[in-house]
């Protein structure tokens, strides 16, 4: 790739896209283009076609998607499948129509079966049923990677699909209504710490930056207490002087987490150094499951994760798990050996990443 090549990053403001944009910039690429949702609705087929005709990008990174945690996935099932299919179909097809040299499609490891072998290799895709809570999103992402694979085989395109594990990092989503487990936990434990310290100025500042269900720092103390309680943060009582934080599930599920800037480095590495033919060479027999896992190959329980974050933030109260709430898939550990063979490994370990994440949260 030439440093002045025109590279379109769809979703360049999000956790994934912004990290990839930053990595390209740091490596000296000077012709990056992006569009906000207000500037370009990727669900609008004609608008996407017009954009490609006007801009003619040479390379495309498809990081735009409707994403969320277990609550959002299970609540907005129709939106998750419809919006993601629309976005993918429009961008992938127009990349083919306009002769894009290489496209990188980002999916998610939730594409794998609920009872997938652990760690999950790429070839376990479509071997069993999916986890119900995120099935619509997973089906959309499976369709996207199969679309890339099928276009490569029929039309000779150079589209690569990657499946990152759970990501966290700068520009993460801390909205308690839609966020994933790690950023949600960071915010909840931060607010619990503020409550523990009776630091109402910090609580109000936090809510002003990121209102919860319309409740901001100008709300009454009673309203703030009610919204915190709704999300599991209980104010101290005379019989229980410590702040209590209730989290969903049993705390037993194991999860793998990857620093978003590591993920971005893997994506740019693949854009610069590997093509579909390299991935195709990994296949044994039929050209199938050509996508690439991006992960660490390491896992931690949700309970242990809460303890790491609690230690980093300095919260002294009690964290309990509500076993009446769903856990989701019990294990989702990727097998990153294909990516390792292609020449890339992660750098940031989880404890360092959480420290960086919390520093970002306080400044953002």
| Strand-pair partners of 64 | none
Cis amide bond preceding 119, omega within 30: yes
The Cα–Cα gap between 22 and 13 comes to 11
- Catalytic site residue 137? yes
The Cα–Cα gap between 228 and 232 comes to 6
Could you give the strand order of the β-sheet that contains 233-234, starting from the edge strand earlier in sequence? Answer: 233-234, 244-248, 318-322
Show Cβ contacts of residue 230 under 8 Å, excluding neighbours closer than 6 positions.
213
The Cα–Cα gap between 43 and 30 comes to 28
Q: How many CB atoms lie within 10 A of CB 38?
A: 6
DSSP-derived secondary structure for 220-240: -HHHHHHHHHHTTEEPPBTTB
Q: How many CB atoms lie within 10 A of CB 91?
A: 24
Residue from 29, 59, 112, 137 carrying the catalytic annotation: 137
Of 182, 187, 308, 307, residue with least CA distance to 257: 182
Q: How is residue 151 written in tokens? A: 């276009």
Show Cβ contacts of residue 37 under 8 Å, excluding neighbours closer than 6 positions.
none
Through-space distance between the first and last CA atoms of the chain, rounded to whole angstroms: 33
The Cα–Cα gap between 221 and 31 comes to 49
Q: What are phi and psi of 208, to 5 degrees?
A: -70, -35
What are the catalytic residues? Answer: 137
């Amino acid at each position: 790739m030439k440093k002045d090549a025109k590279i379109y990053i769809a979703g360049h403001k999000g956790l994934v896209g912004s990290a990839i944009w930053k990595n390209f910039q740091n490596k000296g690429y000077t012709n990056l283009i992006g569009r906000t949702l207000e500037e370009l609705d990727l669900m609008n087929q004609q608008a996407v076609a017009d954009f490609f005709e006007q801009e003619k990008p040479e390379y495309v990174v498809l990081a735009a998607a409707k994403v969320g945690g277990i609550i959002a996935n299970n609540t907005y099932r129709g939106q998750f499948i419809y919006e993601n299919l629309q976005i993918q179909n429009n961008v992938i097809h127009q990349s083919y129509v306009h002769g894009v040299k290489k496209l990188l499609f980002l999916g998610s490891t939730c594409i794998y079966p609920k009872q997938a072998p652990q760690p999950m290799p790429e070839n376990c895709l479509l071997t069993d049923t999916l986890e119900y809570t995120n099935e619509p999103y997973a089906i959309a992402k499976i369709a996207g990677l199969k679309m890339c694979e099928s276009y490569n085989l029929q039309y000779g395109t150079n589209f690569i699909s990657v499946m990152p594990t759970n990501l966290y990092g700068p520009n993460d989503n801390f909205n308690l209504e839609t966020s994933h487990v790690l950023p949600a936990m960071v915010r909840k434990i931060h607010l619990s710490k503020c409550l523990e310290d009776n630091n109402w100025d910090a609580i109000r500042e936090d809510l002003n930056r990121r209102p919860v269900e319309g409740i901001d720092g100008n709300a009454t103390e009673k309203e703030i207490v009610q919204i915190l309680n709704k999300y599991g943060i209980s104010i101290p009582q005379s019989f229980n002087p410590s702040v209590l934080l209730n989290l969903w599930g049993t705390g037993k599920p194991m999860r793998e987490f990857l620093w978003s800037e590591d993920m971005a480095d893997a994506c740019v590495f693949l854009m610069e150094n590997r093509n579909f033919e390299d991935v195709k060479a990994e296949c044994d027999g039929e050209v199938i499951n050509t996508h690439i896992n991006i992960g660490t190959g390491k896992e931690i329980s949700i309970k242990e994760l809460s303890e790491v974050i609690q230690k980093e933030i300095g919260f002294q109260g009690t964290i309990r798990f509500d076993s009446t709430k769903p856990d989701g898939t019990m294990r989702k550990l990727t097998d990153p050996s294909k990516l390792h063979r292609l020449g890339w490994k992660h750098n940031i370990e989880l404890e360092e990443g959480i420290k960086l994440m919390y520093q970002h949260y306080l400044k953002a």
